[in-house]
Structures are given as structure tokens and as C-alpha cells.
Structure 1
Amino acid sequence: MLDLVAAAGRITGSPRPNPQAEEKIMKRISGKLLVFGALSLLCGGVWLLYSQSAAPAGPIKTEIRKENGRFRLYRGGQPYFIKGVVYVGDMGGKFPLKDVAAHGANSIRSSGGLNVLDEAHRLGLSVLVNLPMRMESVHKFDYSDEKAVREQFEKVKERVLQLKDHPAVLAWSIGNELSVGYTNKAVWNAVNDVARMIHEVDPLHPTMTVIGDGSINAGDILEIKKRAPDLDMLGINYYMHVETVPAKIRHYDWDKPYVLTEWGPSGDWQVPRTEWKASIEETSTEKAQRYLERYQNVVLKDAERCLGSYAFIWGWRHERTQTWYGMHLETGERTEAVNVMQFLWTGQWPANRAPRIEDLRIEGRRAQDNVYLKPAGRYRAAVQASDPDQDPIRYRWEILAEVARAGYAGMGEKRSAPMPELIEKGDGPELVFKAPAQEGAYRLFVFLIDGKGNGATANIPFYVRP
């Protein structure tokens, strides 16, 4: 894995340049990001001063302009490039919203209410407000049922009327990935009805709907163009191969701007798998490299159409594993993904950075080697790691049974309980453990903590059989 400081902007696996070349690369990228970051911080400072003044006067107008063939977003009459995250909430104080602003972001994507908007505005953050709509595949919602569609419409309208005059509102996001597993194209007519209603009651904030990679690849953009012409832009959730989005947007002749509304590590459905179909998760260090590359190759590169992005996901969540998508550990520590996003937003690395993981093996075998263990057998595992600031690292190991993927976006997944009784020696980078006695699929996790609020993680799936 390449050093992010020395290799910012380069693709993992490319030849490593000499130190002089590395320095030139870093200066060139950092210079551009510093200029971009300085302008963004200046705009952010203006918004922060505005938000901390006496009671807000009312809504702040967001508009999309096309200038010299390029779409640009304006907020309050000033250019506004979205540097955002999908925000899950502070979860008991572990992920306070103030940390989002402190790292250089200027916006969040949220389903929260007035309390979230109030705090966001106080911190100088705007909010892409989610307007939930039910899915055909997940919620068994019938978009041919006029009564049900009307009831949903009225609930959405109620939320719009409640929040539309709040100064934190940036735009409205109508539904999320409504096309997953769907057959009834009338969903887009329902989306358009909401977009038209918003234009009538709130002409100050634009609208979008959000689609995922499968929807784009299936050509749903053409259906959206036909059935939902009142949308102002498109939200796109895309993980691995997100760099193909600009070309696909143009291939399907989407003639409006877009925002990356979810992106980050490679999706659990996209990565290589073991022989027993366990998805092989990237380490936190590999994920950080993905954030870096994908931001540079899409968000910064497609200046003609892309209005910014919302990285997924600020905080922690369990989906497929307890570490796959969160930019933090469950205990609150920041991973390298947070460090990278601060660099991309501001041009400056944090003063203290997260540990790095180079490798994790069981008895010398990586996840790609299909690790099979004997029931109750005694084994060793080792992680190769370092800390860029030479902070002492504390290690924690866990063994859990593999979680069966239950439904869309982790819905219905039941997290497995750790098995501490299997750990014989695990207070450092080497682990001695016993395999579970019962046949089946498991994962070995390692967590690294630097004592400065940063962490790292990796895991390796293994299978127990006689």
C-alpha cells in the first residue's frame, strides 16, 4: 500500500517514484488543494459568521447556474461546492457534528429534523435534506395504489413545509435508491409530483432523487428523464468504479448536474470473495486510498457536471461487518479516511494521523488464500502496522461468526457476539488463538488505537472445518 502523503493522486500499485519526484507530486497536488481549500475555508468562514449572528433571517437561496458550459451551485449568491458527508448522528456523543465542520466539510446529508438543522446552521454547515419515500422491493410499496401514493405525498409535503424556511437547507433529496429491485416505473412519476410540489411551495431550494450503481447501469436515467422532468439534478450512490460515472451520465444524455450522494470504500457486493462466498473487506488503509483516488478522479475531475459530494459514512454503522462503511471505529476513533477527507477538503493533513495497516495474515495466509482452520486448533495471526507520528499503538483482537446478509443496506442483520474465550494472547501485533469448535464461517478482526483519537482496522475471513 502506498504512503498517502507521498502518493496522493497516484493509483495503488503504480511504480514508486524517487523522493524528488514524490515531493513534486505532493507539492503540485497540495498546491491545488490548498488554493481550493483556502477559498472553501474563506466561504465557510463567511457562512459561519452569518450563522452565528443574531437570529437567522430565513432561508438561504440555493441555485444552479450554467456558466460557460459548466454547472455551478450558488448559495446566498456565492459559489458553493459541496464538501459533505452522510451523517448518522452523534451516537451518544462519539461523533459530534462539530467534528464534521472542524475537518473542513461544509455540508451533511441527513434525515434529521429541526434539531439537526439548527446545529448544522450554528456550525456553518448546510444540509441536503432527505425526504424518505418507500421502496417497492424493500417496503412492498405499490406505486399503482393511488391512495397510498397520495398519503405518502402528503407526509413528504408536511416535512418540506416544516423545514423549507430553515437557513441550513441546501436542497431536497427525494427518496433513496427507489429503483432497487423495482418493476413499477410509476415511482418516478411520484418523485416528479414531489419535485413539482417543492418548486411551488419552496422555489429557493433545488430537488434531486438518488439512484445507485445498479440503476445507472440498467439505464434508469432515461426513465427518470422522461417521467421526472421537474428534478433539478441527480444524486448518485456509487462505490467501486465510481470513476465511470461521468461517462455514464453523458452516455444516457443526462443534461443536468449531479452530486455524488454516497461513495467511499468498495461495496461488499463488489469485492472478491472467498470460496465460501465471504466478501473480502479492504483494510482501513486501503479504504483511505480509495477515498483519495475516487475524489480526485470524479469529484475534482468532472468540474463540468459534478457539484460536489457526500462521503459515506461519517460515524459508525454495522452493514455486512462492523467496520465496512464507517469512517470511524465503533468506539469513536477516526480512521485514515477522515484524515484523507480533511486533506482533500482543506489541502492540509491533520496534525496527528491514524495508524496504517500494511498486512494481516493467519499462519502466513491472506484472505485471498482461502483460510481454512481445524475445529479448536491453535493458530497464530499477525498484523503489520505503523503510526506516522510514532505514537504507541494499542491492539485489540476479536473473533466473530460471519453475519449472513439479511436484506437491503444491512436491514435485519444481527451482529454476532465476540468470542473472547478463543483469544489466548492478543495484546500486541501478534495473536495466539483457538479456532471455534463449531464448523462454519468466521472473521478475525484487529483494531489499532493510537491514544490520540485515531484508529485503524482490518479483518480476515476464515472457515472452520474438520
Structure 2
Amino acid sequence: MRAVSTTVRLTAAVLAAVLLAALLVAVRTAPATAATTLLSAGRPTTASSSDSSARTPAKAVDGDTATRWASRRTDAQWIRVDLGATATISRISLRWEAAYAKSYRLQVSSDTTSWKTVSTTTAGKGGVVRADVAGTGRYVRMLGVRRGTAHGYSLWEFQVYGTRTPAPAPTGVRVTGTQGKWQLTVDGKPWLVEGVTYGPPAAQAATYLPDIRRMGANTIRTWGTDASSGQVFDAARANGIRVIAGLWLDQGADYVHDTAYKTATLASIRKTVTTYRGNGGLLMWDVGNEVMLSRTEEQRIAYAKYVEQVTRAIHAVDPDHPVTSTDAWTGAWPYYRDYTPSLDLYAVNSYGGVGWVQQTWREGGYTKPYIVTETGPAGSWEVPSDANGVPRQPSDTAAAQAYTDAWAAVRAAPGVALGATMFHYGVEDDEQGVWLNLRTGGLKRLSYYAVQRAYGGPTSGNRPPVVSGITASPSTGVARGASVTITAPATDPDGDTVTYRAAVSSRWIAGGDGAMRPTPVTVTGPGRLRITAPSTPGVWKVAVYATDGHGNAGIETVTVRVR
């Protein structure tokens, strides 16, 4: 064996030392590299305010240094980013626009209620600030204390760095995703709301929820939650259905001055949420229903601020279910955007105008998704009147098509519209029930099957008779007790024998109660009936029921003016 020279041995030793040193440097710097992972990019971001729809909080985490968030011109403002999971925070970077903070705090939280300050600045000068911090949490915020200019606070970028804590298997209901790409998830799995509003008594939920499930629906919506609601939640859970649980707010309350009402209602809501937050039938909370539309500007702002107070209280008690709030028009959304930032999503009741909801959302520059909590055929407030001055009710065929079109309008906005609960799974047999119920008097209507098809339910089976138009003769100037001929020809798609009956309602007479009262019928030929005019003068609404003996009915209406 040939001897190795001293020079060769020395060179080898030096190379080994260099390699060892490089390895040690790599080992030491690996955690630092992981610790500087950008966690906030594109994450859901909320702020106490925005000074315009063009400068929303999402602009501070979009990675674009030419877009920014800007607050109102007051000192007490904040911006908060949801990292989506608990993380160890190592650095926070702020890229200020000219409107900077003189004094501010950087804080972290696990629940948006309790905050830990990880950095305090009292003599800020704007520019780009990089603060090395040490904290753990899911939420990170910049809390402005004092402005550095006469403007509000404005950030080109709000960046949070650190390492994510391995997340457990997701539980609860969440609104996830980014601008225009949201979805609702239940225990980590996507959930598109395919639902109906629920009208039967809570005690009958176990009877009706299986039928709703057979329709293909996965969600029901209620307007109020009380001591009886446990029966609804339990029946929903047993059938794989979730509940959008209403929390009723008085539509006539004075939200500016009535502090006693607001305090008592808030306490009641906390108690209700605490009672049902662990029930597996719950999907989300829906605060109030159609309170804003007819209010003054002062009352609208006060109401939106109160809904914010309620929403924060719900989140504190139940962080595992989203919160929304329903009104009768998308005109409520600007108030929610400005005064109710803690809502997880918006909601609206829209019938004849449901096709415009998506465009309204887009033009409003909103940064949260929405659901449609009531939709269906045009309501009595949206249609022209007939010759007797009564709103002209859509035919059964037109109503069924309206449900089909409404669902198509919702599905035309994927990632923004998270579903709908169509109005109405009710079994009442009054004038309004004839107009909008899917199961009037327990009978299945064409609209029931239209909703079933929309949600992918069964496409085979017996179907209701179809009435092809309805007329009354005479229809005006009818003497009390006179004979009236109703023509309402019906065909049955399954060849079933069609049986007729009729009922009348005085809803459109002053003091009328809307009840449908059965009236004797004489069938004089195919689709021809004779009834006797009521003894009270005024405009009566007549409903003709064509039934097939299999739990289905076609129902059409006409009016008669009795002199």
C-alpha cells in the first residue's frame, strides 16, 4: 500500500471540517426558514370599517402592493386576519400607506374574544415595519390606538409569518375559501344548502322531516328557536338534515332607544345558543328576519349595530357555527357591511327578484358570500291585480317553473351563493298556503316536485293533476247566493281519476282572515263546477282543488266580486 502524504491528509481534514460546518448551518437555519412561512396570504380578513368598497380588508392580504385597506377616520379601528388554524407567530410585517398608525398594538387570539398583545408601538412613522414577535393563535390583528395623520389607517399589505400547528380533523360548520371561491363545510366536507323553510309544528318534525329528506333537501330554515325546537333539531339530525335556526328579533322594536328590550333579548339569545350549540342538527344561526326594510335610516343603522352585538355574543358562546342575518332586500347588505362585520355570510329573502341578487352582490363589492333564505314564485306584492283588484296568483305550472328558475339563479353564482331554503314546506290550507305552500293541506303540489327535481330527488312516481286555466262566470256583480260556474279543466299525467272540490277566502275583504272555507260543489261536466256565491259582499277568492287520490293536487284560483 502506498503512503498518503501529509498535504493530502491536511486537505481532506479541511474539506471534512467545511462540510460539517455547512451541515450544522443547514440544521440551525432550517427552523428559521420554516418560521418565516407567510401564513396570511389570501386568508379571510375582517376590519372594524372600510372607507370605501374599493379598499376592503381583503386587499391587505392579496399580495398586491398597489391595492390597500383603509379605515374610517377615527382612532379606534382594527384589521384582523383569520389564519384558518392555530399557528406559532414569529413575525408580522406592515406596509403602511401614507395614512399610518402613530400608536398601535399587534395582537393574537384563538377565538377573537381574548387577545394577547405581542408588540406595541407608540411612536410609529409608517413605511414598512417588520416586527419579530412570539405568540400562538389563529387570529392576528393590528389594533389602531392613535392615527399618525388626519386620515384613518391604511395598509398596502398585512403579512403574518410563522409555522402552522398541525390541525386536528375539522369539526363544526365553517365558511371557508377566498373571495368568490367560498363554500360551506360541515365537519370538513362541502355543504351546499339545498333546503326548504319549515312550517309544521315542532312536535310533528319526526313526521315531516323524512319526507323533506326524500325530496332531496339537506337543510331546513326556521324563524325562531325556543324550548320546543329540540324536537326539530333531533328529527333533522336523525334524517341527515341541518337547521338554519332563526333567532327572532321584534320587527317593531325601537333599536335606537329601547335598551331594555335589547338587553333582555341578548340574554335570551345567549341562553338559546348555549342550549342548542352542541346539537348535531344545527347548521347556522340566523339573526332576525325582515326588520330593516320599512325603517328609518337611524333605525337601520341601530339595528345593524345591534345585530353585530348579537353576532359577537353568539360567536363567543358557539364558535362552531356561522351566523347570518336575513332581510327582505339586498339593500340591507350595505348596513351589514358597514356596521355588522362579524357576520360570517349574508342572507336575503327574494322571490320575483331572485335573479338579480347575484348582480346586486357583484355591484356592491361585497366580500362575504350569501344564502337565499326564502324564494319561490312571485308574491302578492309583486304581481299585477286581476279585474277585481286582487293580486293575480300564478298558476300551479308557473309556480313550479318559478322554483326551478330560482334554483338556477342560485346555482349561477357558485362560490358566492352557498345555497337556498325555498319557501315553503307548509301544510296550512289558508289563502297564503294555497299561494306558496309545497304541501297545501298536506297535498303535494307541482311545486313540491319541482323542488324535488332541483335537489336531485326521485324523478319517478305519481304526479299531481294539472289544471289548465280557470275562469268564473259571472265574476263581478254577482248577487249573494247566486250560482257561479267555475271552469277549471284538469288532466292527470298518470291517468288517475280527478276529483274536484272548492273553498273560498275573504282575505281581500276588509277584516278577512285568509282562511279557506270549503264550499259545496256541483260538478256539471269535465272541469266544470257550480258553486253558490257567499252571502257577504266583497271580493272572494275561490280555490279549486283537483285531487288524484294519491295525495297530490292541482290548485288554481280565481276571484268573484259579490255585490
With normalisation by structure 2, the TM-score equals 0.64
- Kept in 2: contact 1:353–1:389 (CA 8 A): yes
Q: Report 1:36-435 matches (<5 A).
A: 60-67=171-178, 69-89=180-200, 96-110=208-222, 111-112=224-225, 113-136=229-252, 140-183=253-296, 184=299, 185-213=301-329, 216=330, 219-296=331-408, 298-317=409-428, 321-330=432-441, 332-346=442-456, 348-363=458-473, 371-404=476-509, 414-416=513-515, 418=517, 420=519, 423-425=521-523, 429-435=527-533
Q: What is the CA deviation profile of residues 270-328 of structure 1, one whole-angstrom value per residue up to 9, with x for unaligned ones?
A: 111135431111122221111011211x1211113100010111023467544112111
Q: For the Cα contact (< 8 Å) 1:239–1:266, is it kept in 2?
A: yes
Partner of 1:452: 550
Aligned-partner SS, 1:198: helix
The alpha-carbon deviation at position 362 of structure 1 amounts to 1.5
Tell me the SS of whatever aligns to 2:469. strand
Give the match's secondary structure for 2:246: strand
1:464 equivalent in alignment to 2:562: yes
Q: Distance in 1 between matches of 2:279 and 2:480?
A: 59
For residues 460 and 378 of structure 2, the distance between their equivalents in structure 1, rounded to whole angstroms, comes to 24
Q: Given that residues 65 and 74 in structure 1 are in contact (C-alpha distance below 8 angstroms), is that contact kept between their aligned partners in structure 2?
A: yes
My pick for the range that moved more, 104-113 or 146-155, is: 104-113
* Equivalent residue number for residue 410 of structure 1: none
Q: What one-letter code is carried by the residue in structure 2 that aligns with 1:418?
A: R
- Equivalent AA in structure 1 for residue 534 of structure 2: P
Taking only aligned residues, the RMSD between alpha carbons, in angstroms, comes to 2.4
Q: Does the 8 Å contact 2:506/2:513 carry over to 1?
A: no
Taking the aligned partners of 1:329 and 1:69, their CA distance within structure 2 comes to 38
Superposition deviation, residue 169 in structure 1: 1.1
Match of 1:441, SS state, is strand
8 A contact 2:431–2:505 mirrored in 1 = no
* In structure 1, distance between residues paired with 2:544 and 2:292: 37
Instruction: Please report how far the alpha carbon of residue 401 of structure 1 lies from its aligned counterpart in structure 2 after TM superposition.
Output: 2.9
Displacement, 1:374? 3.9
Classify 1:246/1:371 alpha carbon distance in 2 versus 1 (closer, same or farther; 3 Å): farther
Q: Distance in 2 between matches of 1:256 and 1:62?
A: 16
CA distance in 2: counterparts of 1:146 and 1:91, whole angstroms: 31
Q: CA deviation at 1:377?
A: 3.4
- Give the AA of the match of 1:357: V
> In structure 2, what residue type is equivalent to 1:345?
Y
* Alpha-carbon distance in structure 2 between the residues aligned to 1:182 and 1:398: 37
Once the two structures are TM-superposed, the CA of residue 438 in structure 1 deviates from its matched residue by 4.2
Where does structure 1 differ by over 6 angstroms across 4 or more consecutive aligned residues?
Answer: none
| Structure with the greater alpha carbon radius of gyration | 2
Shift of 1:197: 1.3
Contact persistence 1:60–1:168 (CA under 8 A): no
| Cα shift readout 1:117-175 (whole Å, capped 9, x = no counterpart) | 11110111111111111113xxx444422222111110111111111111111111011
Q: Specify whether residues 65 and 443 from structure 1 end up closer, same or farther in structure 2 by C-alpha distance, changes over 3 A only.
A: same
Q: 1:421-454, CA deviations, whole angstroms, 9 ceiling, x for partnerless residues?
A: 6x44479621123333543111221011111121
Aligned letter for 2:417? Answer: C
CA distance in 1, matches of 2:561, 2:509: 14
State how far apart, in whole Å, the 1-side matches of 2:195 and 2:505 are: 33
Specify whether residues 135 and 90 from structure 1 end up closer, same or farther in structure 2 by C-alpha distance, changes over 3 A only. Answer: closer
Instruction: Note if contact 2:215-2:458 (Cα within 8 Å) is conserved in structure 1.
Output: no
| CA shift for structure 1 position 416 | 4.5
Does the Cα contact within 8 Å between 1:65 and 1:72 map onto a contact in 2? yes
Structure 1 residues 99 and 358 mapped into 2: Cα distance closer, same or farther (>3 Å)? same
Structure 1 unmatched runs, 5+: 1-58, 407-412
Seen in structure 2, the aligned counterparts of structure 1 residues 394 and 234 have a Cα distance that, compared at 3 Å, is same
1:36 corresponding residue in structure 2: none
SS in 1 for 2:435: coil
Q: How big is each residue's C-alpha offset from its partner over 1:185-209, in whole Å with a ceiling of 9 and x where there is no partner?
A: 2011110011111222211111100
1:187 is paired with a residue whose SS is helix
The SS at the match of 2:560 is strand
Q: Partners of 1:130 and 1:222 in 2: how far apart?
A: 21
Distance 1:188 1:269 in 2: 25
Determine the C-alpha separation between the residues in 2 that align with 1:224 and 1:96: 34
3-state SS in 1 of match to 2:263: helix
C-alpha distance in structure 2 between counterparts of 1:153 and 1:264, whole Å? 32
Query: Secondary structure of 1:197's match?
Result: helix
Report the more deviating stretch, 265-274 or 68-77. Answer: 68-77
Distance 1:439 1:201, change over 3 A: closer
Secondary structure class of the residue paired with 1:362: strand
Could you tell me which runs of 5 or more consecutive residues in structure 2 were left unpaired when the two chains were aligned.
1-169
Change (3 A) 1:399 1:203: closer
Give aligned pairs, total: 386
| Kept after mapping to 2: 8 A contact 1:339/1:350 | no
Alpha-carbon distance in 1 for matches of 2:532, 2:259: 58
